[in-house]
Chains A and B, each alone.
Chain A
């Protein structure tokens, strides 16, 4: 749901811009010469408009020149103070989500990653210890804050509301207005909607900003909603789409069957009449109507005779679609009375006409030029970027893995889309590199994670659900290496480049329904008269008789009395004993179909994890699977359906939600560093120390010396 107040504030901003523009032009006109000098409209309206731009730029230049000596002095003084103790000019952090150290070493050994190899030789390379659990939101939050999860409060993609057993996004809380004024079928919000970030602790860029050091943070996960600080930030993972979801795509098909919601989107049935398909694109809800029904944009698709192309008419715009080729971003305006509109953008892919009409539409991304909710710091930063490089993907997890998983996109279509997005983010990154001369530039790329999730089965000795394409992963690593190569060309003296990932990857061959296992062990009870088959979000669970349940990809929670509404376990001794008992049994779980292979490497209890103020919000147990195993999709959604162990036949075939020691990330440094086993939460204090700022005591990470850092010994070599 798109809260109306965000739209209203966006419109206010646009109105004030218009007013300011008109006022400036008005002032110009008031000071214009009398009528006998036919300058102005006589020379044409265009001149006036462009002259405005010219005048403003000249004014800026003039003022800049006038103020230059004072600014230079001020900057010198401030810069001296801020950067006086700094060992580097710039820290450039490239986050390649999920880049695996084993694969990287293998390809480097084969000479396929020359730039990473050179970086490793000149600076250093080491596996990067990751968080428990090794999940992106958790690990990147640790990178940002220099703390472990108990201090930043992110334990998984999903968090659970102990009062209702329902899941919620762990990183952000989106709440609509609390009070409404009903007016028949209409309603007026009486309070503002709220977007609250759930990550706690302080990111390193905020600490740097407080010391006058500027950071540009691009798409780093868990940065939505953007928290103001002294620097620039573009939000990444967890930015919603225009509908408020984490990415809902649309699939239009003429194949028989009803329209229905599916994982990651909606399938919409259409009828082809001659060469014409008439349907609509559902947008955000209209908060001014009771029930917030979706605003729908009418769509007409008129196909060419040979089916190779089609004319798409959406709203009052027209575009040509080529079969099998993604359209560029198409800006969409969803009118929402009274006089408001929600703006988004999507890409369209006409897949086929015969035997069935098939059209895929990406989730509706927020338009970075006019975002319907804030996605950057300062708020106009995203608009500035979009005007310079064109529209770019803004959705937190933009790569539509579900569409490939569900067979809606082909492998090649998925890759085309993924690398298109990747190129857009590269353009943003290199633009920032060009502009920023001091401070931090950090950019996160989700591409390696998405591609490896979907193509890991092609790596030998994987079962390869489809025709084998082992080159896809290799190509991915080559592309990332190429990115590093282009980055090294832009390197200046005084730059420290670090390329890192939050975790590695392992095959996902066998899925484990933890809730079914808990039920089989008697820890989770299902109601006798409950639903005939297990349903999502614990629909058939008999809570008063349930001692433990699993939600999300790695966690097991106790059903604690006093915390959960129908708790069955007494806190204290009983709970401690129960956790030990479950952990022991889990570690004894064997996969009989695979020759008695142990499924769980470690079941990690709270007391084995670093303490912090939010430790209680995390699960009692985090399941550290052995490589090859992972919690099933069903169990993650609270479904306790047998079998406990089954073959993973999905396209989603690589994963990292296992024992963190099995999936460390990578750490490449352009300068030698002195640390045998760096951890992802050591990065923030190391960056602070490089800029001469003492890391705060609450950070769990320890800074390690990097060449040039006066506070530590210059490293002789890599770990």
Chain B
């Protein structure tokens, strides 16, 4: 579904995809407020919050009044939060799923042919990497550059690989008799889904680590991770993660769209 959603923006600048996602999130937000919001309560609480903020300035010479007004300000902020709770709960699920999917696409860059990356295998607690037979076999388009680095204190084994040829590549990891596979994206353009980590089949991993099949329940491996380069976004000359521009766009769209739709936020 999300691949279909982002397919129109695969060929264009990543900002187009991020903007589309922010617009979708804004629509979801407004929909949640329309369905579950209490506009009267929200408007009243918001009016009081603004008024009390103004009062702090109006009565700055009256310390007792200012303290009283600050108390009222906190009380109405709580009222506002309570008034926003139903749409918030309604929104939490869909927006959470959307954000995980956005992180999958907007937080990392695929490996560029010629560059190196780490592959990290984390073992279940109690396992000692030094006592295990571990090997990594790179598929076509990848090279393994180092022998395994065993870190007993972290229950982790690392390898460095180098990307050679563009495409969805794989590495095969053998720990003792167990063999698992992890995909590695090399040289892909647009905003492909980049599952960095493959984890066990738990409900949190299903929610937060989408994109690849999960490790079997009895596996000695806790996760396999490919450390992709971070994708940074430039806003007014500042480099930042995708979340900041996304938030800004989401706020902007929500504020703009609430006016014609008359939705209290």
Tell me which residues across on chain A come within 8 A of B59, comparing CB atoms.
435-436
Contact at A380–B95, with CB atoms within 8 Å? no
Contact at A22–B251, with CB atoms within 8 Å? yes
Counted as pairs of residues, one from A and one from B, with CB atoms less than 8 Å apart, the total is: 155
A385 to B48, CA, bound (A): 10
Tell me which residues across on chain A come within 8 A of B61, comparing CB atoms.
75, 214
A436 to B55, CA, bound (A): 11
A290 to B47, CA, bound (A): 38
A61 to B29, CA, bound (A): 31
Chain B residue nearest to A30 (CB atoms) is: B244
Binary B-proximity of A210-241 (CB < 8 A = 1, otherwise 0): 00001000000000000000001000000000
Contact at B63–A75, with CB atoms within 8 Å? yes
Contact at B54–A40, with CB atoms within 8 Å? no
Q: Assuming A29-B247, A32-B247, is B88 touching A44 (CB within 8 A)? A: yes
Chain B residue nearest to A26 (CB atoms) is: B248
A444 to B216, CA, bound (A): 79
A61 to B251, CA, bound (A): 26
Contact at B95–A49, with CB atoms within 8 Å? no
Binary B-proximity of A308-338 (CB < 8 A = 1, otherwise 0): 0000000000000000000000000000000
* B132 at the A interface (CB under 8 A): no
A49 to B238, CA, bound (A): 24
Q: Assuming A30-B244, A42-B95, A388-B51, is B251 touching A25 (CB within 8 A)? A: yes
Binary B-proximity of A430-446 (CB < 8 A = 1, otherwise 0): 00000111100000000
Contact at A381–B58, with CB atoms within 8 Å? yes
- The residues in B between 49 and 81 inclusive whose CB is less than 8 angstroms from any CB of A are 49-56, 58-59, 61-67, 69-70, 73-74, 77, 80-81
Tell me which residues across on chain B come within 8 A of A57, comparing CB atoms.
49, 52-53, 70, 73-74, 77
Give the most central of B56, B248, B251: most A CB within 10 Å: B251
A71 to B60, CA, bound (A): 10
Contact at B62–A435, with CB atoms within 8 Å? yes
A46 to B79, CA, bound (A): 12
Question: Which of B99-107, B118-126, B167-175 lines the interface with chain A?
Answer: B99-107
CB < 8 Å neighbour of B49 from A18, A43, A47, A53: A53
A72 to B62, CA, bound (A): 10
- Size band of the A side of the interface? 35 or more
Chain A residue nearest to B252 (CB atoms) is: A22
Expressed in whole angstroms, the minimum distance between the Cβ of A82 and any Cβ of chain B is 10
Q: Assuming A40-B243, A41-B99, is B107 touching A35 (CB within 8 A)? A: yes
CB < 8 Å neighbour of A43 from B65, B92, B265: B92
CB < 8 Å neighbour of B238 from A30, A75, A383: A30
A166 to B46, CA, bound (A): 48
Tell me which residues across on chain B come within 8 A of A77, comparing CB atoms.
none
Tell me which residues across on chain A come within 8 A of B246, comparing CB atoms.
41
* B135 at the A interface (CB under 8 A): no
* B163 at the A interface (CB under 8 A): no
Tell me which residues across on chain A come within 8 A of B255, comparing CB atoms.
18, 22
* B129 at the A interface (CB under 8 A): no
Chain A residue nearest to B26 (CB atoms) is: A45
Contact at B241–A42, with CB atoms within 8 Å? no
- The residues in A between 395 and 415 inclusive whose CB is less than 8 angstroms from any CB of B are none
* B87 at the A interface (CB under 8 A): yes
Contact at B244–A61, with CB atoms within 8 Å? no
Tell me which residues across on chain A come within 8 A of B63, comparing CB atoms.
68, 71-72, 75
Binary B-proximity of A39-65 (CB < 8 A = 1, otherwise 0): 011111111111001101100110010
Chain A residue nearest to B86 (CB atoms) is: A46
Tell me which residues across on chain A come within 8 A of B243, comparing CB atoms.
29, 32-35, 40-41
A48 to B62, CA, bound (A): 31
CB < 8 Å neighbour of B66 from A64, A384, A388: A64
Chain B residue nearest to A384 (CB atoms) is: B54
Q: Assuming A42-B96, A437-B64, is B107 touching A36 (CB within 8 A)? A: yes
CB < 8 Å neighbour of A44 from B50, B91, B103, B235: B91
A36 to B99, CA, bound (A): 10
A400 to B182, CA, bound (A): 80
* B254 at the A interface (CB under 8 A): yes
Contact at A54–B84, with CB atoms within 8 Å? no
Q: Assuming A60-B70, A71-B63, A387-B47, is B87 touching A46 (CB within 8 A)? A: yes
- The residues in B between 209 and 260 inclusive whose CB is less than 8 angstroms from any CB of A are 235, 238, 240-248, 250-252, 254-255
Chain A residue nearest to B108 (CB atoms) is: A35
Tell me which residues across on chain A come within 8 A of B53, comparing CB atoms.
53, 56-57, 60
Tell me which residues across on chain B come within 8 A of A437, comparing CB atoms.
62, 64-65
* B25 at the A interface (CB under 8 A): yes
Tell me which residues across on chain A come within 8 A of B67, comparing CB atoms.
64
Tell me which residues across on chain B come within 8 A of A71, comparing CB atoms.
63
Binary B-proximity of A612-637 (CB < 8 A = 1, otherwise 0): 00000000000000000000000000
Chain B residue nearest to A45 (CB atoms) is: B29
Tell me which residues across on chain A come within 8 A of B52, comparing CB atoms.
57
A54 to B82, CA, bound (A): 13
Contact at A36–B88, with CB atoms within 8 Å? no
Give the most central of A18, A25, A47, A384: most B CB within 10 Å: A384
* A378 at the B interface (CB under 8 A): yes
CB < 8 Å neighbour of A384 from B51, B70, B91: B51
- The residues in A between 363 and 387 inclusive whose CB is less than 8 angstroms from any CB of B are 378, 380-381, 383-385, 387
Expressed in whole angstroms, the minimum distance between the Cβ of A318 and any Cβ of chain B is 12
Expressed in whole angstroms, the minimum distance between the Cβ of A39 and any Cβ of chain B is 9
A46 to B241, CA, bound (A): 22
Q: Assuming A22-B251, A387-B48, is B77 touching A54 (CB within 8 A)? A: yes
A32 to B67, CA, bound (A): 30
Binary A-proximity of B159-200 (CB < 8 A = 1, otherwise 0): 000000000000000000000000000000000000000000
A-B contact pairs, 10 of them (CB 8 A): A29-B248, A29-B251, A30-B235, A34-B243, A45-B25, A47-B81, A53-B53, A72-B63, A387-B48, A437-B64
Q: Which 6 A-B pairs have the closest CB atoms?
A: A46-B84, A387-B51, A387-B47, A44-B88, A384-B54, A29-B247
Other than the given A30-B244, A41-B25, 5 more pairs (CB < 8 A) read A33-B243, A53-B49, A61-B70, A75-B63, A383-B51
